[in-house]
Amino acid sequence: MIESIFNRITEEYCEISPETINDWSEKIKIVEYKKKHLLAKEGTYSRKFYFIVKGAIKAYYMLDGKNVTDWFAFENDFIPSTTNHIIGQKSTHYIELLEDSILIELDADHLEYLCKKHHDFEHLYRLVLSKTIHQLRERIASLQFRTVQQRYTSLIDLHPKIESRVPLGDIASFLGITQETLSRIRASR
Amino acid sequence: MIESIFNRITEEYCEISPETINDWSEKIKIVEYKKKHLLAKEGTYSRKFYFIVKGAIKAYYMLDGKNVTDWFAFENDFIPSTTNHIIGQKSTHYIELLEDSILIELDADHLEYLCKKHHDFEHLYRLVLSKTIHQLRERIASLQFRTVQQRYTSLIDLHPKIESRVPLGDIASFLGITQETLSRIRASR
DNA sequence: ATAAGAATTTGATTTAGATCAAAAAAAGTA
DNA sequence: TACTTTTTTTGATCTAAATCAAATTCTTAT
């Protein structure tokens, strides 16, 4: 079980030495939570870092009393929204499970420890951040000047199953539009 | 000169060992270019990584024959738009100097070498990426659900001098609006 | 200083998407 | 199975910002 997870990570990012893997695997905890469980709450300190083995999450924050969904993550993703808390600040976001999920949990202190102790771990983490940057860039390009149709289409291309796994309202929010508009776009295809 | 630059970087991010600094300073080149010079062109390989000692840049790409400005950077910023090329892909962006500038240039290969050789350098780089992520997040929040007024105001708060250093059309593009709209917003304040 | 070119502003019109409201469909729950 | 609750769709109207067009102001080079 654990090995196959480390394999997934190594394949996706880079090789990791056995020592690092050992040290790492001592620090992690495999956790299971039900749909709607909150991994983080706005205004609280939740210094945890997650990798999704199975399941899906959304990250959102409140704006004028409404939820704004910021980020989705699925199997084999790290949850980068948590990186904020890692610098020791209160969370600006809620992170909610969209499905019953299995996660690997790593304490922020342990993350720092592993980075400091093992160069290859810090390298891996650097690659994870690079990937996140790439995704954020794509997202900005999408929000900045594409029409709503184009935004929706490219989201579906990227995550074909998102429609069945994520409520329409959250997808609309992520795209920066109302759910009525998204519903109409969907209908017109 | 060089020392004061390394000091700036160390203060902003983290301590770096003398060995790393030595090795690093052997790899860099201080370059000066005039306004309008292109550090990168769409479709070409420009495997360089820059730190801005003095000056300003914009990163943009073409969409339907129009420039879309993506990113600004000023003194003491690394230019993260170049990180794309570092993975060895053709640039998707143009990077153009908005002013006569002084830059520190580091070859992508040297960047990788320094990361591999010196754990503290990779750590520094990781922190640079973290900061970039934070900025990108802010930017997404801004584009996703804020009104144009709010977007403009927060940009000015962040970079008070941007109005005098960057053409209005580029700022408008960055905010995801037309320059006519930005002009009107400015007039109505 | 003056002309040529670039950047910015102003005006009139159009349109994509928001808002408000209600109906219909789907998903949970007893 | 029926009943409640949540999610999605549909309709009518409104509005912020886009578009198109032209005028004005600011820069730069001669």
Put simply, the answer to whether A134 touches B84 (Cβ < 8 Å) is: yes
CA of A37 to C1' of D1 (A): 31
Task: Please check whether strand D approaches the CB of A95 to within 7 Å.
Answer: no
How much of chain A exceeds pLDDT 90, in percent?
Answer: 53
Render pLDDT for B56-113 as a digit per residue (tens, 0 to 9). Answer: 999 998 887 788 998 999 999 998 655 555 566 788 888 999 999 999 999 989 999 9
| Strand C bases, protein C-beta under 7 A | 7-12, 16-21
> Which pLDDT value is given to residue B145?
85
Distance CA B21, CA B161 (A): 32
**Total count of residues recorded for chain B:** 189
Taking the C1' atom of every nucleotide in all shown strands and the CA of B145, the nearest one is C18
Render pLDDT for A136-166 as a digit per residue (tens, 0 to 9). Answer: 988 999 998 888 999 999 999 989 889 889 9
Among candidate residues A108, A111, A103, A95, the one with its CA nearest the CA of residue A39:
A95
Put simply, the answer to whether A133 touches B133 (Cβ < 8 Å) is: yes
> Which pLDDT value is given to residue A153?
92
Render pLDDT for A11-57 as a digit per residue (tens, 0 to 9). Answer: 999 999 999 999 999 999 999 998 889 898 888 887 888 999 999 99
Closest Cβ opposite residue A68 in set B61, B139, B145: B145
> Which pLDDT value is given to residue A120?
97
Put simply, the answer to whether B134 touches A68 (Cβ < 8 Å) is: no
> Which pLDDT value is given to residue B101?
92
Where is B85: in which H helix or E strand?
Answer: helix B83-86
> Which pLDDT value is given to residue B85?
52
CB contact A129 to B (< 8 Å):
yes
pLDDT value at A72 more than 70: yes
- C-alpha distance from A31 to closest chain B C-alpha (Å): 26
Among candidate residues B145, B149, B152, B188, the one with its CA nearest the CA of residue B168:
B152
pLDDT value at A180 more than 90: yes
**Total count of residues recorded for chain A:** 189
Residue of A133, A134, A135, A170 to mutate when probing chain B, most B C-beta within 10 A? A133
Render pLDDT for B122-131 as a digit per residue (tens, 0 to 9). Answer: 999 999 998 8
